[in-house]
A and B are shown apart, each in its own frame.
Chain A
Amino acid sequence: MTARGPKANYKLGRTVAPYLYLSPSLLVVGLLMLLPMGMVITYSFQESAVLRPDTSFAGFKHYAAVFGDEVFWASLWHTLYFTIASVVAHMTIGLAFALMLNSNRISPMLRSVLRVLYILPWLFTQVIIAVIWRLLLDPNGVVNSILIDLGIIGSKVEWFSSVETALHAVTFANIWAGYPLFMVSLLAGLQGIPKDLYEAADIDGATGPQKLFFITIPQLMPIIVSISLLDFIWTMQVFPLIWLTTGGGPIYATEVLSTYTYKLAFSQYNLAQASASAVTILLISVGLTLFYIRHQKAR
C-alpha cells in the first residue's frame, strides 16, 4: 500500500484501506465467533453431535428435554438469585466505598492507600477466589471459629456443603470479589460531578443526605445503570467460582446455567442437548446485550 502521489490513488486507498485494516479482526470474529455460533445452533437440532455425530434433524427434541428438566429451572432460578443479589450488593458496597473515599474528611495519603487496598479483591481470578473462600469457610476454618466465639452460631456450619447455606455462601464470595468495578467507576463519576451543584445546594441549606439523594445519585445514574447491566451479563456467566467451591451441589443446590450445561456436555456427553441449553443461554444473553447497547446509544 505505498501511495504514489496522485489524488485518485489516494482516494481509492481511503476506500479500500479500512477494510484491509479490519480484515484480520473480521477473520477472527467470523471464524471463531460467528461460525461457532452457527455450529452450536445446528448441533442443538441434531440427533447427536460432535462425538459419534448423527446429523439427522431432531426438531425441538433437545429443547423440549431441557425445558422439561426441573434441574434446568432450578439452575435458572439459582442463576437469577446469584446474579441479582451480586449486582445489588456490588452496587451498594461500591457506592459506599466510593463515597467514603471521596470524602474530604480523610487525608489524601489515607485515601490513596485505601483505594489500592479496596481494589485488591478484583485482582484475583475466580479460581483463586474459590480457593480463598474454601479456606475461610471450611467447617474448621477461621470464619466458623470467629462466629462461634462471637456466639452468632452454636456449632460449625458446613457453608459450602449444606443445602441451606451453599447458594448464599457462593453468592457472598462473588459479592466480595466483584464490588471494585462499581467502586472504581463511581469514584471516577464522583470526580466528574460539577462542584457548583453542591455550592448551590449549600446556599439553599441542603443537608448531607439531601445532597446525596438529589445530586450525587442522580448524577451517577448513567454509570450505575450501565455498570449494573454489564455486571448482570457477566455475573450470569459465572462458572469457575461455583465449579471449584460446590461443583453445583450439594444435590443441585448451587447448580447454575453454566454448570448445568457443562455437565450435560462433558459429564454426560450429551452434546446435542447441551447445545440446546447453550443456545438458550445465548438468547438470554443477546436479549440483555441488545438492551445494554440501546442504553449505551441513548446516553
Chain B
Amino acid sequence: MARRNTRREKLITLALHLGLAAGLFFAAFPIYWMLASSFKTNGEIFALPPTILPRVFTLEAYAAILTDPVKLRFFFNSYLVAAVVTILTVVIALLAAYGFSRFNFRGKAALSTLIISTQTLPPITLLIPFFGLVVSYGLFDTYAALVLTYLVFTLPYAILLLTGYLNTLPRDLDEAVAVDGGSSWTALWRVIVPISVPGIVATSVYTFLLCWNEFLFALTLTKSTDMRTVPIGIQLLMGQHAFEWNQMMAMSVLGSLPLLVIYLIAQRYFLAGMAAGSVK
C-alpha cells in the first residue's frame, strides 16, 4: 500500500514537471525565437531547417537600427512622451488620491465610480473626437497631442493605485500634522509623499509602460517620421517592401528593453501595477 502510494506520488511529480516544461516552451519559445532571430543575418531567418542558434552570430541588425537617426528619433520620442506623461500623471493622481483617501465629501462615491469606469472606455471611441480636437487646435503631429490624450488613459489607473496605497497608511500621521497646526497640504508633502515612495514607483512604472506601448493614438494623431514613436516605427519597418526581419526583431527587442529591465529589477512594483485593474 505504502509502496504503491510512493510510486503514484512519483508519477504525479513527474507529470507535473512535464506540464511545467510544456508551459515553459509555450511561454518562452516565441520570445526566444525573436531574440535569436535578431542576431541572425536576414538570409538565415527562414533557413531550412530552422537554426535554433544563429549559425552566423551577428550584431548587424542592431547596428543598423542604432546608427539610423530616423530610428533613434523614434526611441527619443517614446522616452520623452512616456516621461512627460508619467510625471504629469503621478502628480495629478497623487493629489486626487489624497483627496479620495483622506476626505469625505459629497459626490465621492459617484466620482470614484466615474474614474473606475473610465478604465474600460474603448480607445477607438475617443479617437475620432480626439482627432477632431487635435486638428482644430492645431496640435496634429505634435508631442502635445500625444501627452494630452495619453493622460486620459493613465490617470484612472494611477488614481486607483495611489488611493489604494494611501489607504494603507495610518491616518494618525496626518492627524499629528493637523494637531501641530499644519494644513492638509503640508501633511501631504511633508509626511505622506516621503513614505509613499513604493506606491509612487509602482504607479510610475505602470504609467510609463502604458505610454510606451500605446499604438492607436500615435498612429492617428502623428504623421511625420519626426514625431513617430517606437511602436509606429516597428510598423513602418513592416510596411517596407523588402522585409528586414532581423532589423524588425532587433527593434522589437530594443523596444521591449525598458519593460524587461524594469520587470527584472522591480518585479514587485511591476506586478503591483499590472494587477491594478483587478485588485481594487
Contacts and interface: CB of A to CB of B under 8 A. Distances in A.
Given A5-B181, A50-B135, A140-B46, A40 B125 contact: yes
B184 A13 contact: yes
B23 A237 contact: no
Given A29-B118, A226-B278, A258-B124, A125 B27 contact: no
A51 B149 CA distance: 20
A216 interface: no
B5 to A, nearest CB: 13
B30 A258 contact: no
A131 B34 contact: yes
Nearest to A115: B267
B10 to A, nearest CB: 10
Contact of A21 (B99, B234, B235): B99
Nearest to B239: A244
A197 interface: no
B30 A121 contact: yes
B266 interface: no
B113 A293 contact: yes
B122 to A, nearest CB: 5
Contacts of B113: 293
Interface string A29-57: 10011011101100100000111000000
Interface residues of B, number: 94
Q: Is the interface of B mostly helix, strand, loop or mixed?
A: helix
B23 A100 contact: yes
B64 interface: no
Contact of A18 (B20, B24, B105, B132): B105
Interface of A: 1-3, 5, 10, 13-15, 17-22, 24-26, 28-29, 32-33, 35-37, 39-40, 43, 49-51, 96-97, 100, 103, 105-106, 110, 114, 116-128, 131-136, 138, 140-142, 145-146, 149, 176, 181, 184-185, 188, 223, 226-227, 230, 233-234, 236-237, 239-240, 243-244, 257-258, 261-262, 265-266, 271, 274-275, 278-279, 281-282, 285-286, 288-289, 292-293, 296
Closest A-B pairs by Cβ, 4 of them: A21-B99, A36-B129, A125-B213, A18-B103
Interface of B: 12-13, 16-17, 19-20, 23-24, 26-28, 30-31, 33-34, 37, 45-46, 48-50, 92-93, 95-96, 98-100, 102-105, 108, 111, 113-118, 120-133, 135, 148-149, 151-152, 155, 159, 178, 181-185, 212-213, 215-216, 220, 231, 234-235, 238, 245, 248-249, 252, 255-256, 259-260, 263-264, 267, 271, 274-275, 277-280
